[in-house]
Amino acid sequence: MLATSAAATAFAQGEQLPAPAARDAVGGWQDIVVTAQRRDERAQDVPITITAFSNERMQQQGITQAQDLQGTVPSLVVGLGNQGAREAQSFTIRGQGATLQASPGVVIYMNEVPLPAAISVNQQGGPGNFVDLENMQVLNGPQGTLFGRNTTGGAVLLVPRKPTNEFEGYVQAKIGSYDNREFEGAINLPLVDDKVLLRVSGAYQDRDGFTRDIVWNKDRDDLHWYSGRVGLTLRPSETFENYTMVYGAYSRNNGTGQIHRGFNIAGLAASGACVEGPTVPGVVASCDVYRAADAEAEALGPRRTAYSTDAFQKTKTWGASNTSALELNDELTLRNIVSYQHFRTSFAVDNDATVLQLDEYDTPRFPAAGQVTLPGDGTPINYLPPSATTPRDNFRTITEELQLQGSLLDKRLIFTVGGFYFDQRPTGQQGAAVYGYCPAAFTGLCDVYRLNYAVTTKSKALYAQSTIDLGLLTPALQNLKITGGFRYTWDNISGSANYYLPLNSTPETFFCIGDNSVATNLNQCQFDANLKTRAPTWTIGADYRFSPDLMVYVKASRGYKAGGINTNAVFENTRTFQPENVTSYEGGVKTNFTIAGMPTRLNATYYYLDYKNIQRAAADYNPTTVALGARVLGATARIQGVELEASVRPFPGLEVGGNFSYTDAKYKKYEFTANLPMVDCSGGLIGMGQTAVLTCIPFSGVAPYIYNFHVAAEKPLGDNLGTISIFANYSHTSSQNTSANDLPGSEPGEKLEPYGTLSLSVDWRKIAGSDLDLGFYATNLTNKLYRIGNPNLYNSLNYWSTIYGQPRMYGVRARYSF
């Protein structure tokens, strides 16, 4: 406590804080250095809510993909956004996240560059993003003045390990359940002492799936991917540094194992898809066919399915980024960050998860003739040959950012000014083959709709942010800091889409979905759209340090997310959607102290959000053209909540901690023009063209309660035998609503049940003084069965399916460092 008291005394006398390296030891904490404000700082010194993970902690918690973060970060929900692909793992923070075909509300950055974000699914980047990281940082709240892309919800920063001036590296292997095989490694080479530094890393994983498809006799939810990254640092002089990172990743798997839960028999009968009576081949099926499909799915259980489509997903992504830093003098640094990235993905899904051909996309092949029959009927199903498919996403992204960073007046005035440019556009054809609403009697014979689209997004922005210590004005205001930032963004989104049905009976003739017309030229089916928007965003805040280990802060900020083009529109009035914005008010405290001699940390935050024109994706259906589509609705809401993080160290080598968040989200206004008759909050039937009100429905994408507990223990064995490290973590997520436009209770499975998962990691490090580590790991140790996604199409397409989370995974690992 002597060091703490001395620091507090000096602080009270108006001196500046100790250097970060010295302050790390205050209270016994070793803090991660973060870049949340585009400069190196201790996490405890940043006046925002931030959760940081070291590479070691990520290994202990088994964090290898976005879904693994669920329950470990306050106010963070990782979900599938009602989509049928497990790779669509999108982040929602404080109720703000991804929307189909819109820019993400929480952007993932690798080396300060936003990863490419797909259009067809809510996916950012490919596999291998969590390999060989220095740390990972999750920032809560709008990041609209300092980071590349505007966001309303937050940002996730992946900081890769950069080359150092030492020859070192590691190799790691994991063997586990479901025949899991993982290999990872990196080597660091100082080619020219402190001048030319190289780091190369790579990873590979192959794992069987945990959902068995009895039709195709293969596992869904399997993994097969590899990735690589090369980093090169050049320091030709003491004032200039250049870092280039090149990466690539490839993934090919058997697709997502969706589980069928039930058909809407009443809805199917009302639409003429089935009748209460015997099947009339080639005319209409008995409703008992659908009931038999339900019974078969029930008998299969949650880990087996029966597809009419051989689902798959293939993703290929690569890119390069270059960061240059020139020290103009002791106080000014000029930085430039430029990147080029390419993203391509293809996938096929069977959303209803039965042998019936309903709501399927990009089918590569069907079962052989006679291999399957109508459920409960026995009539053989013969599928027509599938049409040719195209990639769902095939685009490149270019970014350019120029920054000037300054530290003036003895580091009491810190600022960053800059400009950002973003350009994303297709590099080839993109589209989908859509097998939509096909009655059971016509399974395998329905025509396929074709959807081709091209969207180009350009964004330009100028920004500035500075922090000033008011001790410059008077000693009485020492250590009171004011932060202000402003950004202006110009967005231009343009694109086109063709949604049509080839009329096989008349060659070179097409039925255009959008306007219910017949065309002899495919261009006649195309619609073009252009959306130009611009908006200012800002931040203003203050923080004050009462002592080196106690900081309080308040902050207000404005966030903005661009609008977009709805390539799945089946009505003219749904082809574009407008931007959303949020105004955030936040206050918090960050503190380290001791209780009975035990180092303790407590961070707490309260926030209030005014959230407007919320982009809500919803299914759409045009009965005139019998076409399935989508639309994006707008809403207004208020969101408030608290976030807590606490840790205590009862004695050296033991840490007990956790976090907690409560999110209260409620719509203030949710009105739109109905394209179809529907029941709204009034309880009455709203006709086509009338205003529907859905203000009463629960806010989707929010788990009101999220909490996490962990215990970390280390014990040296003595006699140079090494160290035993144990890490146990329990994460709980409360129930959450997933539908954007369904009344409570009207959509089965719409509300995901609460669940908790337990993970365990045990490692023997530096065995007998060597550089070898051995360990055991397990995730979802209790084998909890829980759901992570629900398409919510029971009322529109008359079926219910769901997606379950991973079962228990366990294995052993070995790591050798040199």
* Rounded Cα distance, 303 and 495, in Å: 40
Helix (H/G/I), strand (E/B), else coil: 57: helix
* pLDDT (tens digit per residue) in 209-253: 999 999 999 999 999 999 999 999 999 999 999 999 999 999 999
For CA atoms 604, 606, 611, 614, the dihedral sign is positive
Q: What's residue 454's pLDDT?
A: 93
Q: Judge whether 229 and 320 are in contact, CB under 8 Å.
A: no
Residues whose CB is less than 8 angstroms from the CB of residue 136 and which lie 6 or more positions away in sequence, other chains included? 52, 53, 58, 63, 130, 156, 157, 158, 159
Find the mean pLDDT for residues 568-585. 87
Residue 524 banded pLDDT, cuts 50, 70, 90: confident
- Using the predicted structure, report yes or no on whether residue 647 has a pLDDT greater than 70: yes
**DSSP secondary structure string for all residues of 75-102:** TEEEE-TT-S-TT--EEEETTB---TTS
Q: Tell the burial category of 497 from Cβ atoms under 10 Å away from its Cβ (0-12, 13-18, 19+).
A: buried
Identify whether 162 is part of a domain.
yes
Between the alpha carbon of residue 334 and those of residues 137, 242, 417, the distances in Å are 24, 12, 10
- Using the predicted structure, report yes or no on whether residue 201 has a pLDDT greater than 80: yes
* pLDDT (tens digit per residue) in 610-623: 999 998 877 777 77
* pLDDT (tens digit per residue) in 294-343: 999 999 999 999 999 899 999 999 999 999 999 999 999 999 999 999 99
Q: How many other β-carbons are positioned within 10 Å of the β-carbon of residue 785?
A: 14
Residue 10 banded pLDDT, cuts 50, 70, 90: very low
Q: What's residue 44's pLDDT?
A: 84
Mean pLDDT of the chain: 89
Q: pTM of the entire structure?
A: 0.91
Return the bridge partners of 789, or none.
803
Angle (CA) 694-700-702 rounded to 5° is: 140
How many domains does the chain fold into? 1
Q: Judge whether 17 and 11 are in contact, CB under 8 Å.
A: yes
Identify whether 8 is part of a domain.
no
Identify whether 695 is part of a domain.
no
Core vs surface per residue 14-44: b (16+ CB within 10 A) or e: eeebbeeeebbebbbbebbbbbbbebebbbb
Core vs surface per residue 230-247: b (16+ CB within 10 A) or e: bbbbbbeeeeebebebeb
Q: Judge whether 173 and 204 are in contact, CB under 8 Å.
A: no
25-29, 130-134, 435-439, 647-651, range with the lowest pLDDT: 25-29
* Chain centre distance of CA 644: 22
Identify whether 433 is part of a domain.
yes
Identify whether 5 is part of a domain.
no
Q: How many other β-carbons are positioned within 10 Å of the β-carbon of residue 657?
A: 16
Identify whether 13 is part of a domain.
no
* pLDDT (tens digit per residue) in 455-509: 999 999 999 999 999 998 888 899 999 999 999 999 999 999 888 888 877 778 8
- Using the predicted structure, report yes or no on whether residue 9 has a pLDDT greater than 50: no
* Rounded Cα distance, 279 and 285, in Å: 4
Identify whether 353 is part of a domain.
yes
Q: What's residue 627's pLDDT?
A: 64
Helix (H/G/I), strand (E/B), else coil: 8: helix
Task: Tell which residue, 48, 55, 140, has the closest CA to residue 96.
Answer: 140
CATH of the domain at 54: 2.40.170.20
Domain containing 457 equals 25-634+636-669+700-817
Identify whether 598 is part of a domain.
yes
Task: Tell which residue, 285, 270, 431, 255, has the closest CA to residue 357.
Answer: 285
The type of residue at 2 is: L
* Rounded Cα distance, 686 and 741, in Å: 14
